[in-house]
Amino acid sequence: MFLQFMINGIIIGSIYSLVSLGFALVYNTTRIFHLAYAVLYMFCPYIILTFYSNLGYPLIIAFIIAIIITILLSLILEIIIYRPLSKKGSSDNIIMISSIGIMIVVINIVAMLYGNETKILNQNISETLTFGSIIITYTQLAQFLISSFLLVVFLMFLKFSKFGIKTRAMRDDTILCSVFGSDIYKMRIALFTLSAIFAAVGGGLVAYDVGMDPYVGMPMLLNAVVALIIGGIGRFEAPILGGFIIGILQSLSVWAFSARWQDAVTFTLLILFLMFRPQGLLGEKRRTV
């Protein structure tokens, strides 16, 4: 049983890592506490629902269309909301509150269009693979493979491409980066695009397994943020590490206590980290946190 819960934890951890990395891409570089990111995660499965269940496109095509539309939404948010605020020099708190505003608006628009109840994408019960005593569904396998693939590709990309170098430069010092002639707002477009892809893929994969309602974004975002804090703000490997830790820990807390205490375990961990190691596992120490 322990092994089974461990495997479940690793699978869900890979999703947390993916979503958390998307959040980190925006937060580490722009310092936008992008709460509306939760909305992107929730938005993608609904678009899949429209194209796959209602219009009858094949699943893969519907997924790709949904990812593209989610990217568009993300860019609209950046261009209409965040960019003017940041050009105006608004403080982090103001940007975060605006983000809460966006979140409220989009969640309720989706709720008006699709209804508040839970919707499912996959009517069939997923087939399973059995290794000895361990059971994995094909959906879980897909979740793990797709998210790990994206994580690895992204890390390579970050390490070796010109864009990756610029991203790391922007993380370290945005102003210096623009002094050296990089167009910050062009970079931000790319970052918001990438982060939307991660949110959309994560959202789609989870919704295909367990369905969705308009409020699924927030709990996932919170897990992603906790993963980021535990891993540490700064290095892009950190949210991935944090994601796996959270996933395994939650799964084991289901095994040890019950599913009801999952959140309490996660957020106690968050508060412990904030108190004793606010820079996270891989973060560098800063004087003010």
Partner 1 sequence: MINIYIILTTSTNLLVGMTNLLSLGQAALYGIGAYLAVLALMALHLSLLPTLIFVILGTSLLSLLVAYPSLRLRGDYFVLATLGFQLIVFTILYNWVSVTKGPYGIPGIPSLVLFGDIIISGIIPYLILSSIFAIGVIIIFYKLIHSPFGRALKAVRDDELSAQAIGRNVTALKIWAFVVSSGFIGISGLLYASYVSYIDPTSFNLDEAIFILSAVIIGGTGNIKGPIVGAVFVVVLPELLRFVGLPDSVAANLRQIIYGLMIIILMRLRPQGLAGEYALK
Rule CB under 8 A: which residues touch partner 1? 33, 81, 84-85, 88, 90-98, 100-105, 107-109, 111-112, 218, 222, 225, 229, 260-261, 263-264, 267-268, 270-271, 274-275, 278, 288-289
In whole angstroms, how close is the CB of 19 to partner 1 at the nearest point?
16
Q: Which residue lies nearer to partner 1 by CB, 147 or 253? A: 253
265, 176 in Cβ contact below 8 A? no
- Token readout for 121 is 């994408």
76, 117 in Cβ contact below 8 A? no
Chain center to CA of 141: 19
Distant-in-sequence, close-in-space partners of 89: CB < 8 Å, separation ≥ 6:
none
In whole angstroms, how close is the CB of 114 to partner 1 at the nearest point?
11
In whole angstroms, how close is the CB of 53 to partner 1 at the nearest point?
22
In whole angstroms, how close is the CB of 25 to partner 1 at the nearest point?
16
Q: Which residue lies nearer to partner 1 by CB, 133 or 288? A: 288
Upper half-sphere CA count for residue 4 (Cβ side, 13 Å): 13
Cα separation, 248 vs 250, in Å, equals 6
Output the CA–CA distances (angstroms, integers) from residue 142 to 17, 129, 145, in the order listed.
15, 12, 5
List, in sequence order, every residue forming a beta bridge with 136; answer none if it has no partner: 129
In whole angstroms, how close is the CB of 164 to partner 1 at the nearest point?
25
Q: Which residue lies nearer to partner 1 by CB, 61 or 112? A: 112
Q: Which residue lies nearer to partner 1 by CB, 237 or 263? A: 263
79, 193 in Cβ contact below 8 A? no
Q: Which residue lies nearer to partner 1 by CB, 204 or 280? A: 280
